[in-house]
């Protein structure tokens, strides 16, 4: 019973619970309000899209500008210069630190994330399919280099591989030369540009590392336990000194001297061009390194290599239209003093429209050139000159020029030379046995013992044949000059990569390994080569390589029962070849009924040098785009696909291709497009010599500071030619640290394109990777997730949801 006048007070526990319930109720209501507001903001964000980029006045000048590099042909520069208004120029930030720009990128990424959130289960399913076809734990075929067998291997769950070796035989204990997973620890990106053990004992390793994606490499060194244990040459260098040497700010390319005392490397200029050759003596500070060569012509790109014999360092200065080569004889050089006494020697002085490359065999330099005694050989021919007198006055023909065969480079062995090239649209190898001359091996010793008894077919080259009509081959690891076997890699659109040894004496082939692709049955898939007429006025025939699941095309591509989903891709620049090789990632599309097509358009090099040099660059560049459009139209006209079932994709210069074709035909011909790191601001980028690669690229696209090239580039430049029309669904990809196609190009493209989309256009998404450069993710699992994201975007547009 409660006394009158006494207020009832709940027990302390119940009072606390009541108060807590009240607070929670109030807090829950507040949280609910915030949740509702957040959902409303997100819906509005999805409906309205990212903010428009503010327009800021900026004039881009084309032509002669005092104090600036506007091109070597001063008399051709427009004077006075002309102006182009670029209100989005401010999106360029070389430091990658401008908060206003970064916020715009992050907003675009957030929009893409929100727009594709619904497809995450589909992305995960595609990722599982990609992973299912990858043998996660695998090893490369070992190859002999010095006294060690080297190979790389991967382990399930590890993002990067291991570079390993065994001494003497594969039965010896394994030594991990480089653990890329350890190198990547704490890094968002990792690329090992090159790695090489020092001759002759392989007791010291040099390797170059980039951890940003910007392709500026640091050369590091590591003492290898095998060399230390044997004590071969570490008596000259302690392990501590070897590991402490560090060379920053390089191109990533380097070459050891004749021993472990000396290494040669390249430095970059302000435009990210390799332009200086330096020599470093191990155990000394880099401040004491010696500059050996500087290339001031910004059109030329420095390259560094060593001949297969190991005798010569080769310094190449290469442009699109000319090059020059110097060699440095390393024979018998021991220690820093002897290396410092060796001098570079010119092979042949540079000349406009003259290209050549050099290899060494016996007492001759073997040279592939496009100009022999003043006669143009566009697809190149093989000549040779004595080592002591290498200039063109002493060049002699090895084979007569054959315009039907393109010669590209050489791999030299003691008893044979392998010629790499192209014929009838495919990569090809020819074997040539030169006259017997004393040779030097990579160890510097005479290597002519026993060669007198071998039968040689002087001045005759024999092709290596291949089992399929549509195929791809490229050189494998060939590190032993004295070997009688040439190792190469073979694959096709349906055949996984094989590692093959070809006996140079008998012609016998040995398949050492075929990459295992889990859950793949090659008999379920077919591939063909067709030809499509270009949309250009000349109607040039364009080769198409096609792969498909047989169940969707039981009678082949010539007799489709109904239009099918097609994924069409191409590159078409720099004379690069997009060959029909195997890619297990492609199976995620093929197994869903998509037909995969590669268009070998002009600007590429698939059909030889003229396909690029005469018909696909400079003032013929539009052929590239019209070839692609013609290929797409042919696929539609033949009933293989329809515009609403056709997706297209290309990266870098291939991204230029795709963005240009979207302006030309839009949604009339294409349903979806992936533009990967697209070079789409051609006009503005090519006018500015401070942007990496610009000056070098003048010999690819032309210089827009000259009237003829300015007008021509203006007529196809993707950003310049955006106009209000119906565009298909487009996914644009970029990398914040990309030095080749800077992030601001895809960003400017998307910002301008979004303002010109008509109401019936497809969705436009931009995804900028904040931790990578031009080549996407370095982590193999992250790379597959990005591939799954891209495929999910395309497949949904093609109405494939499983």
Asked about 778 being catalytic, the answer comes back as: no
pLDDT band at 460 (very low <50, low <70, confident <90, very high): confident
Q: Give the range among 448-452, 502-506, 612-616, 730-734 with minimum mean pLDDT.
A: 448-452
More confident call, 13 vs 50: 50
pLDDT band at 33 (very low <50, low <70, confident <90, very high): low
Least confident of 40-44, 72-76, 577-581, 595-599: 40-44
Percent of the chain with pLDDT over 70: 90
Say what the pLDDT of residue 21 is: 65
The catalytic residue among 534, 631, 652, 776 is: 652
- Is the pLDDT reported for residue 791 higher than 90? yes
Banded pLDDT at 46 (limits 50, 70, 90): confident
Q: Which pLDDT belongs to residue 151?
A: 98
Res. 41 pLDDT band, cuts 50 70 90: confident
51 DSSP assignment: P
- Mean pLDDT of the region 758-765: 97
Average pLDDT over residues 76-98: 97
Write b or e for each residue in 17-41: b if 16 or more Cβ atoms lie within 10 A of its Cβ, otherwise e: eeeeeeeeeeeeeeeeeeeeeeeee
Domains and CATH numbers, the chain: 142-177 (no CATH), 521-642 (3.40.50.1820)
Q: Is the pLDDT of residue 9 over 60?
A: no
pLDDT value at 2 more than 80: no
Residue 3 has a pLDDT of: 39
Among 10-14, 224-228, 241-245, whose mean pLDDT is lowest? Answer: 10-14
Beta strands in 123-261 (DSSP E): 138-139, 143-145, 148-154, 162-167, 175-179, 191-197, 204-210, 217-223, 246-256
Output the average pLDDT for the chain. 92
pLDDT surpasses 60 at 428? yes
Contact in structure between 652 and 676 (CB atoms under 8 Å): yes
Q: Under DSSP, is residue 16 helix (H, G, I), strand (E, B) or coil?
A: helix
What's the CA gap between 593 and 552, in Å, rounded?
6
User: What's the pLDDT score for residue 44?
Assistant: 78
Question: Residues 92-107: what's their mean pLDDT?
Answer: 97
Q: Strand 364-372's sheet: what is its strand order?
A: 356-361, 364-372, 375-386, 396-397
DSSP string, 266-283: EEE-TTS-EEEEEEEETT
Cα-based angle 49, 52, 54 (whole degrees, multiple of 5): 165
Beta bridge partners of 30: none
Name residues whose C-beta falls within 8 Å of residue 40's C-beta, 6 or more positions apart in sequence: none
C-beta separation of 153 from 161 below 8 A: yes
Q: What is the mean pLDDT of residues 323-349?
A: 97
In the set 191, 259, 308, 738, the catalytic residue is 738
Residue in 426, 364, 376 with CA at minimum distance from that of residue 401 = 376
Confidence of residue 47 (pLDDT cuts 50, 70, 90): confident
CA distance 469 to 216: 41
Q: Is 448 one of the annotated active-site residues of the chain? A: no
Higher pLDDT, 14 or 228: 14
pLDDT tens digits, residue range 727-754?
999 999 999 999 999 999 999 999 999 9
Q: How confident is the model over 494-509, as a mean pLDDT?
A: 98
pLDDT-wise least confident of 10-14, 475-479, 718-722: 10-14
pLDDT in tens, 770-782: 999 998 899 999 9
Asked if the model's pLDDT at residue 446 lies above 50, the reply is no
pLDDT digits (tens, 9 = 90+) for 651-699: 999 999 999 999 999 999 999 999 999 999 999 999 999 998 899 999 9
Q: Yes or no: say if 548 and 577 are a contact pair by the CB < 8 Å rule.
A: no
* Residue 12 pLDDT exceeds 60: no
Can 652 be counted among the known catalytic residues? Answer: yes
Average pLDDT over residues 362-379: 97
The pLDDT assigned to 25 comes to 66
C-alpha span between 414 and 417 (Å, rounded): 8
Note the pLDDT tens digit of each residue in 528-582: 999 999 999 999 999 999 999 999 999 999 999 999 999 999 999 999 999 999 9
What local confidence, expressed as pLDDT, does residue 226 receive? 52
Which of the following is catalytic: 202, 280, 339, 774?
Answer: 774
Q: How many C-beta atoms surround the C-beta of residue 249 within 10 A?
A: 12
Could you tell me the pLDDT band of residue 16, with boundaries at 50, 70 and 90?
low
Mean of pLDDT values over 585-596 = 98
| pLDDT over 90, % of the chain | 87
The model's confidence at residue 89, banded by pLDDT at 50, 70 and 90, is very high
């Amino acid at each position: 019973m409660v006394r009158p006048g006494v207020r009832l007070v709940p027990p302390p526990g119940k009072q606390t619970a009541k108060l807590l319930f009240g607070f929670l109720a109030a807090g829950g209501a507040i949280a609910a309000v915030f949740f509702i507001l957040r959902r409303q903001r997100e819906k509005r964000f999805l409906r309205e899209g990212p903010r428009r980029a503010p327009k800021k006045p900026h004039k881009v000048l084309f032509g002669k500008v005092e104090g600036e590099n506007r091109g070597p042909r001063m008399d051709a520069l427009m004077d006075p210069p002309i102006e182009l208004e670029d209100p989005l120029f401010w999106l360029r930030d070389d430091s990658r630190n401008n908060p206003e720009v970064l916020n715009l990128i992050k907003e675009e990424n957030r929009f893409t994330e929100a727009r594709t959130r619904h497809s995450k289960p589909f992305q995960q399913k595609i990722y599982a399919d990609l992973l299912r076809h990858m043998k996660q734990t695998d090893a490369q075929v070992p190859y002999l280099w010095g006294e060690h067998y080297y190979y790389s291997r991967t382990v399930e769950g590890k993002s990067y591989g291991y570079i390993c070796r065994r001494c003497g035989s594969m039965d010896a204990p394994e030594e991990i030369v480089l653990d890329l997973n350890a190198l990547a620890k704490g890094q968002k990106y990792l690329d090992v540009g090159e790695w090489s053990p020092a001759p002759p004992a392989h007791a010291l390793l040099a390797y170059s590392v980039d951890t940003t994606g910007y392709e500026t490499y640091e050369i590091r060194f590591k003492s290898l336990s095998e060399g230390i244990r044997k004590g071969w040459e570490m008596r000259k260098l302690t392990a501590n000194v070897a590991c402490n040497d560090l060379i920053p700010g390089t191109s990533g390319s380097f070459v050891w001297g004749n021993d472990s005392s000396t290494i040669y490397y390249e430095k970059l200029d302000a435009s990210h061009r390799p332009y200086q050759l330096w020599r470093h003596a191990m155990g000394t500070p880099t401040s004491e390194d010696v500059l050996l060569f500087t290339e001031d012509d910004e059109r030329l790109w420095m390259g560094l290599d060593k001949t297969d014999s190991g005798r010569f360092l080769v310094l190449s200065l290469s442009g699109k239209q000319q090059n020059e080569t110097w060699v440095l004889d390393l024979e018998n050089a021991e220690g820093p003093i002897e290396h410092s006494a060796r001098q570079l020697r010119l092979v042949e002085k540079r000349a406009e429209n003259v290209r050549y490359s050099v290899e060494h065999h016996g007492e001759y330099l073997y040279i592939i050139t496009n100009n022999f005694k003043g006669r143009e050989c566009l697809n190149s021919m093989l000549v040779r000159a004595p080592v002591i007198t290498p200039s063109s006055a002493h060049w002699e023909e090895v084979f007569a020029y054959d315009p039907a065969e393109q010669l590209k480079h050489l791999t030299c062995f003691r008893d044979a030379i392998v010629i790499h090239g192209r014929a009838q649209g495919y990569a090809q190898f020819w074997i040539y046995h030169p006259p017997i001359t004393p040779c030097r091996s990579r160890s510097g010793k005479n290597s002519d013992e026993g060669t007198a008894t071998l039968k040689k077919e002087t001045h005759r080259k024999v092709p290596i044949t291949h089992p399929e009509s549509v195929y791809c081959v490229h050189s494998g690891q060939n590190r032993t000059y004295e070997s009688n076997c040439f190792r190469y890699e073979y694959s096709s659109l349906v055949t996984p990569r094989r590692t093959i040894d070809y006996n140079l004496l008998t012609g016998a082939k040995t398949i050492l390994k075929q990459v295992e692709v889990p859950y793949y049955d090659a008999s379920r898939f077919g591939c063909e080569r067709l030809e499509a007429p270009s949309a250009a006025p000349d109607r040039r025939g364009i080769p198409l390589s096609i792969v498909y699941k047989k169940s969707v095309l039981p009678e082949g591509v010539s007799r489709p029962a109904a239009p099918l989903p097609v994924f069409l891709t191409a590159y078409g620049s720099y004379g690069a070849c997009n060959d029909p090789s195997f890619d297990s990632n492609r199976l995620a599309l093929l197994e869903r009924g998509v037909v995969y097509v590669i268009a070998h358009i002009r600007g590429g090099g698939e059909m030889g040098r003229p396909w690029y040099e005469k018909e696909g660059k400079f003032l013929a560049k539009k052929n590239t785009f019209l070839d692609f459009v013609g290929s797409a139209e042919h696929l539609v006209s033949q009933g293989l696909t329809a515009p609403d079932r056709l997706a297209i994709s290309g990266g870098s210069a291939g991204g230029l291709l795709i963005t240009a074709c979207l302006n030309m035909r839009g949604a009339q011909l294409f349903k979806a497009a992936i533009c990967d790191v697209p070079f789409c601001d051609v006009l503005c980028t090519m006018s500015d010599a401070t942007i990496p690669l610009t000056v070098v690229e003048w010999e690819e696209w032309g210089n827009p500071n000259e009237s003829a090239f300015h007008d021509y580039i203006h007529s196809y430049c993707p950003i310049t030619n955006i106009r209000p029309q119906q565009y298909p669904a487009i996914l644009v990809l970029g990398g914040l640290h990309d030095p080749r196609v800077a992030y601001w190009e895809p960003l400017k493209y998307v910002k301008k394109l979004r303002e010109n989309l008509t109401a019936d256009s497809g969705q436009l998404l931009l995804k900028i990777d904040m931790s990578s450069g031009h080549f996407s993710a370095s982590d193999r699992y992250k790379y597959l997730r990005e591939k799954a994201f891209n495929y999910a975007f395309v497949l949904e547009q093609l109405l494939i949801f499983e």
